[in-house]
Chain A
Amino acid sequence: MTLRTLARPWIWGFAAAALVWVLILAISNQGGGQTVSLALSLAPYLVIVGLGQMLVITAGPGNIDVSVAPIISLAGFVAVQVTATTGSVPVGILAGIGTGLAVAVVSVVAILGLSVPPIIATLAAGLIASSLTLSLADGFTAVPDDGLRRLLNLRPAGVPVLAVAVAALTALVVALLRRTTYGRSLLAVGQSRPAAERAGVPVARVIAITYLASGALAGLAGALLAAYIAPSPDLGTRYLLDSVAVVVIGGTLISGGRAVPVGIWGSALFFILLDGLVNLVGWNTAAQNLLKGGLVLFVLFLAGGGTLRNPGATTRSRRRLRPAAATTAGTSTGENSNG
């Protein structure tokens, strides 16, 4: 990979984050280091979810995990409850991860066993998870572990411990994608599923691992987030849209086949700093959403063809995915235009 192709995708997120940071600096006239430190302590949660979402999106057109939000909420409750019952933080976090895996298993069975489109499969799994969350939330009394909360708030020399850990996780994902058979297979499946199939890549296994990884990462984020803030049924709500947005602004191809883990950091910092900026200016949630949506659209339309360097790739490869359906559609259209 040459520097040029590498530099292009992920530069946008970091550039936008830097721009917002300068704006905050100009408005608040305070030390910029503190702002960055605060952003670094909030961004990791989004990065964790984003990494999972990135793996899923990389698996090719049509792949998206919309169950991350309900998983985060459910894993938060489960992790806090298990930690309170067993008294062990690691067991609680593992329970959170396990929750994510369990929900992802439902999605995987539906995707591979029933050939349900991923967005519907993960939607259904997420709906089931959110029902469980609501049942758990009724009369929930356990409180998050104090030690874990202190650890998550720990910032030696202004650098949050969690940010370092998640940076290591990001490096791990980079290595996973570049060096392992799974990573290579995932990219191959994302670029062209039929080609990967014919090359002997175990596509079903790759897809299954990808969704399980996304579920596990969302579960981890939920377990940590519940300790950092507090478990609530709405804990994960904003993470669905945000996770997809940070992945795409980060330079990962929405049509699959190219993953840019580092870019997630840039766009996650951008989103977190943007929230900070809006709070600083004293705007309400209405303006916050308007600004966020406007900026996402602006960056998207500005980058435009750049993000989709091969125009039409989405539609073409999407059709390859379901040849039979496309044939039917093509025929019916043909009939009508002839008649």
Chain B
Amino acid sequence: MTNLVASALPSRAGWRRTGPAMVSAVAMVAMIAVCSSLQSEVLTVPGLALVLSTTVPLVIAAQAQMVLMAVGDIDLGIGNFVGLVTVITATKLVSSPGTGALLLLGLVAAYAVLGALIHLRRVPSLIATLGASFVWLGLGLFLLPTPGGSTPEWLASFGSWQPAGFPAPLLPILAVAALVWLLSARSSVGVRVRALGSNPVALQRAGLRPLAARVVAYAVAGGLGVLSGLVLASQTGGGDVSSASSYTLITVAAVILGGGSFAGGTAVPWGVAIGGITLGLVSVVLSLLDVPSNMQSAVQGVIVLAVLAGRVVVGKVLR
């Protein structure tokens, strides 16, 4: 059976890597089509910018989740982490930029330490990040018990930046996806990180240190989490530790939609961008369709299931 699969690999490997993202891309295009049929201005530059802007922080957070899923881990603390970053942005980064920047760097370092501890103590990442999520939430509530604060000027001006030629939100989405792609697919660090996810024993026997690979993955995830929080704060204009709590699970869904897997070893930055946009667009489509906001999460759930079902069907047809 395994031999059969192996002999049929060339085409199937290609399908496995790009197929899931293709199905998600179809869903994304369908949603944009629905949007534009309801409101023709969606297809103009300002329209697209408006529609896409809400998805940017989610997509960046999903990239962070993807990096950790590439090493075979999962991050159940990313939602609260992004929330904490918005809080630090809205408080310390405004009052004393130096301290704020140091705090944000400290958060990235904290992620790296968390990764190191997870590796050295051989504990499941699921539980460790779950525990860490309480810490992020506690820190956020400690700094800013109720939502509020303001954003630094440079960040606010980034949030309201409206270039003429293209929708502004596309820039951070594409830039981050390209960066993660360069890191994961075109650098030796990326190969090590993916090797840790697919075969840690082989990585060790090759004389490379799995610990370093995991720490790098966690530091990158922490950095992306900080970036996501900064963008979110630039859009909301303030800090709220629970503003991103839904990200925790939605980012996992975005990675799966984009073709990632829990088994680790795969990095799919472009697919994740598509998956994240698809899930982020749900609220836009629903508000255009005049569906009560109560139903938003149900539609998100149904879309996830529908896309995955579509993938199963397409997979069977291609086989």
Contacts and interface: CB of A to CB of B under 8 A. Distances in A.
A binds B: yes
Interface residues of A, number: 70
Contact of A248 (B127, B136, B253, B305): B127
B9 A128 contact: no
B263 A321 contact: yes
Closest 5 pairs (CB-CB, A-B): A293-B134, A329-B265, A127-B301, A290-B138, A131-B298
A179 to B, nearest CB: 29
Contacts of B200: 312, 315
A28 interface: no
Contact of B122 (A308, A321, A337): A308
A327 B2 contact: yes
B307 to A, nearest CB: 10
Nearest to A337: B191
A303 B135 CA distance: 19
B262 A62 contact: yes
Interface in A113-134: 114-117, 119-121, 123-128, 130-132, 134
A301 B123 contact: yes
A304 interface: yes
Interface stretch (A47-55, A148-156, A257-265, A279-287): A279-287
Interface residues of B, number: 68
Contacts of B121: 300-301, 304-305
Contacts of B253: 120, 123-124
Majority DSSP secondary structure for residues of B touching A: helix
Interface of A: 62, 64, 66, 110, 114-117, 119-121, 123-128, 130-132, 134-135, 138, 241, 244-245, 248, 254-255, 284-294, 296-297, 300-301, 303-305, 307-308, 311-312, 314-315, 318-319, 321-333, 336-337
A114 B126 contact: no
B185 interface: yes
Contact of B305 (A66, A114, A322, A329): A114
A318 B72 contact: yes
A119 B263 CA distance: 13
Given A120-B256, A134-B294, A326-B198, A287 B123 contact: no
B301 A128 contact: yes
Given A124-B302, A248-B127, A328 B17 contact: yes
Given A131-B296, A255-B124, A329-B198, A284 B141 contact: yes
B37 interface: no
Nearest to B196: A315
A258 B126 CA distance: 17
Interface string B164-201: 00000000000000000000010000010011011111
Given A254-B126, A330-B265, A287 B138 contact: yes
B308 A286 contact: no
Contacts of A119: 74, 249, 252, 262
